[in-house]
Structure formats: structure tokens, C-alpha cells
Structure 1
Amino acid sequence: MQQPPKNLDKKRADEKLLVSEMIALYCRKQHDTPKGALCPECQQLHDYALARIEKCPFMETKTFCSACKVHCYKPEMREKIRAVMRWAGPRMLPVHPVLSIRHVAVTLKSKREAKKANG
């Protein structure tokens, strides 16, 4: 089996870090869990999200799951991760400024590219 290129490993690791931090922030503030811990429901979502990222066949070309044409999340988990992203996204800047700015830059770039492709 071939090893993925290093930049693909980094991209996968960055996405896992972002998702992990967003779920952790959400759980800490919404479920009153201590820093460094997740409630069972958020732990399940976290493990599921990381497994999806690990198995993503489109990692080389995709930006974020929300921009993907194929949705590999089960509907229930997709709704849960959307709720987490909607809540945690705007609150990430003071907590993780570098991750937040990088995420916004990639999101804007993917929206521009999608507009060009469709327009």
C-alpha cells in the first residue's frame, strides 16, 4: 500500500485538530464539561468525525466536509456536527486565532473557486 504524501498527512491532521477543538469548545460551554474532557455524546461525535476524516478519499482536493459533494456522515451525525460548527465557529477566534483565520481563508477560497466553476 502506498504512503500518502506528507502534505496530505498535514492537511488531514489540521482538519482533525480543527474539528477536535471545535467539539471540545462546544462541549465545554454547552455541556459544562471540564477542559480536556468530553461528555459521552460529544466523545462519540468526535470519534466519528475523526474516523470520517481519516477515511476521506477526497482529502487531496477537498476543503471542508460542508463543501463536499459526497456526504459520508450519517444524517444524525451530520446534524450534530453542523450544530457544533454553527455554535463553535464564531467563538473560535479568541480561543484559536491561527486555526480560525486559516479556516476562514480556506473557506473563502473554496467559495470563490465554486463560484468560478458554476458561473
Structure 2
Amino acid sequence: MNKDANFHLFGQLNTEFNTITAMIDLYCLRHHQPNTGKFQRCADCEQFRTYVKQRLDRCPYGEKKPSCKQCPIHCYKPQQKLKSQTIMRYSGPKMLVKHPIMAIRHLIHDKRAVPERNKKMTSNYKTRKALLNNR
């Protein structure tokens, strides 16, 4: 794994990251994995997972982040956004069977209103840096 992606996401961002990771795993298992006993994400899916983590880390809404589908700020590159949509369209229905609690949380989160941005909202990246500077 890229050492730049070896950091912790706080609160709701970590929950969202775990959900998208589960979706990536379901997609990769079906589309990229040969029929072997042990699952290991392919390099392309691992790279996308790292990209998602970095985007979540830099989200200006921070822990009050709306779902990406409803967000007025589009932080994914067009190619990565298309990949995310493809993965979610495939994995979404399967999440209800494989990871029902994550799927329901994701659906509920999707229905929440987009919060207004204010100066109190800081990205996960800025929060991490502030915690490191205070030590």
C-alpha cells in the first residue's frame, strides 16, 4: 500500500470508507479475481481504494460530508467518478445481502440534506495535521 495512504479517517468518514471498501471488494471479486481460494484485491481496485481514501481525507465538509452523489463539490476526476458509479451500481444491490447494516446506513446517509458549508467544517487532513502539531 502507498505510504501516503497510511492514515486514519475520523468518524463518519471512516464508516463511509469501510462501506466503499466493501463495495470495491464485491466488485473486484466478481470482475477481476480468478477462482482461487484466497481473495486479494487486484492492483487496479487497490489503487482506486487508495484514491477514494485520499479524496475522503481532503473533503472540505469533513465529518459532516454529504453523500458524493448529492455533494455540490465534485472532487473525483471524471474517470474515477465513472469507476465509482460502475462499482456502486454493481455492488449496491449485493450489499443488502452481504453487508446489510452497511447498506442500510449508506441508504439512510444518502437521504440526508446537504449541510451548508461554514468555517467550523474542516477536512480530515487538516484535523490530523492539527492533532500532530498539538503533540
Shorter-chain TM range is: 0.7 to 0.9
Deviation at 1:77, TM superposition (A): 0.7
Equivalent-residue separation in structure 1 for 2:63 and 2:20 (angstroms): 18
Match among 44, 48, 60 for residue 47 of structure 2: 44
Listed as ranges, the matches of 1:94-113 within 5 Å are 94-108=97-111, 110=112, 113=113
Q: Deviations over 1:76-109 (max 9, x none)?
A: 111111100111111101111110111112223x
Equivalent-residue separation in structure 2 for 1:32 and 1:43 (angstroms): 13
2:133 corresponds in structure 1 to none
TM-score, normalising length from structure 1?
Answer: 0.78
Q: CA RMSD in A?
A: 1.8
Match among 71, 90, 94 for residue 93 of structure 2: 90
1:22 and 2:23 are equivalent in the alignment: yes
**Structure with the greater relative contact order (CA < 8 A, sep ≥ 6): 1 or 2?**
2
Runs ≥4 residues deviating over 6 A = none
Deviation at 1:59, TM superposition (A): 2.6
Listed as ranges, the matches of 1:50-89 within 5 Å are 50-89=53-92
Aligned pair count reads 104
3-state SS in 1 of match to 2:73: coil
Equivalent-residue separation in structure 2 for 1:36 and 1:52 (angstroms): 25
* Alpha carbons 2:10, 2:63 under 8 Å: kept: no
Deviation at 1:11, TM superposition (A): 0.5
Equivalent-residue separation in structure 2 for 1:38 and 1:56 (angstroms): 25
Give, as a single letter, the amino acid of the residue that structure 2 aligns with 1:65: C
More helix by percentage: 1
Identical positions, percent: 36
Equivalent-residue separation in structure 2 for 1:91 and 1:59 (angstroms): 28
Give, as a single letter, the amino acid of the residue that structure 2 aligns with 1:90: P
Equivalent-residue separation in structure 1 for 2:62 and 2:40 (angstroms): 28
TM-score, normalising length from structure 2?
Answer: 0.70
Structure 2 unaligned residues grouped into runs of 5+: 1-8, 115-135
Residues 25-34 or 62-71, more deviating: 25-34
* Alpha carbons 2:59, 2:65 under 8 Å: kept: no
3-state SS in 2 of match to 1:66: coil
